[in-house]
């Protein structure tokens, strides 16, 4: 058990963490700060303050989808550094392995991917011309598309700093 003594009080750290986890879960489910505060027996301003302490950024939710990506690790690093909400990237090898699976399995995975990506109002698509066009057509939201045919000699490499700039620009608009 992880206890902390503060003067004459003994605080159970796990209880605090569980309460915060519950608060965040309730807020993510759509409850207001006041509703959460009432359930947890605290003030709305306390819920607000905890959210402020943990806030990473404000702005639109962004997803990045891309394949084939030769510099996948670099691109993932930029997405993590910029706190992108959802990332789905595959190398060329991973893409072909994915497509070798049975057709119904591939179809189901594509539908799950589409559902996940549609949760985000802003999407960045990196990839070959036809898959990028297909994804763009499926989405009815702001989409930034980087197609391989637009990057001569790229061989599946996208400039991570250009992607970072696009993320920041989309987030601030």
pLDDT tens for the 173 residues of the chain, in order: 688 899 999 999 898 889 889 998 999 898 899 999 999 999 999 898 888 887 655 667 899 998 888 899 999 999 999 989 999 999 889 989 999 999 999 999 988 988 888 888 888 888 776 666 777 777 766 677 776 655 555 567 888 888 888 888 888 76
Cβ neighbour number for residue 124 with a 10 Å cutoff = 23
Instruction: Check residue 55 and give its pLDDT.
Output: 62
Name, in order, each residue with C-beta under 8 angstroms of 153's C-beta and a sequence gap of 6 or more. none
Ramachandran assignment for 43, one of left (phi > 0), alpha (psi -120 to 50 degrees), beta (any other): beta
Instruction: Check residue 28 and give its pLDDT.
Output: 85
Instruction: Check residue 121 and give its pLDDT.
Output: 85
Cα–Cα distance for residue pair 79/161, rounded to 1 Å: 10
- Under a CB-based contact definition with an 8 Å cutoff, are residues 97 and 157 in contact? no
Domain ranges of the chain: 3-52, 62-172
- Under a CB-based contact definition with an 8 Å cutoff, are residues 72 and 90 in contact? yes
Instruction: Check residue 142 and give its pLDDT.
Output: 64
At 148, list the tokens.
Answer: 């391989």
Query: Does the N-terminal peptide bond of residue 68 adopt cis geometry, omega within 30 degrees of 0?
Result: yes
Cα–Cα distance for residue pair 57/83, rounded to 1 Å: 8
Cα–Cα distance for residue pair 23/20, rounded to 1 Å: 5
């Amino acid at each position: 058990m992880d206890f902390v003594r503060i003067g004459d009080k003994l605080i159970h750290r796990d209880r605090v963490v569980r309460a915060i986890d519950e608060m965040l879960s309730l807020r993510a489910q759509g409850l207001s700060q006041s509703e959460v505060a009432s359930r947890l027996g605290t003030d709305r301003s306390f819920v607000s303050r905890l959210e402020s302490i943990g806030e990473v950024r404000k702005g639109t939710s962004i997803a990045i989808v891309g394949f084939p990506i030769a510099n996948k690790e670099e691109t993932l690093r930029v997405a993590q550094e910029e706190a992108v909400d959802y990332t789905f990237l595959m190398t060329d090898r991973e893409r072909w392995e994915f497509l070798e699976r049975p057709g119904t399995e591939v179809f189901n995975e594509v539908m799950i991917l589409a559902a996940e990506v549609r949760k985000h109002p802003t999407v960045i698509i990196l990839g070959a011309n036809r898959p990028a066009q297909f994804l763009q057509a499926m989405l009815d939201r702001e989409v930034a598309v980087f197609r391989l045919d637009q990057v001569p000699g790229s061989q599946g490499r996208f400039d991570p700093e250009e992607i970072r700039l696009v993320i920041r620009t989309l987030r601030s608009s």
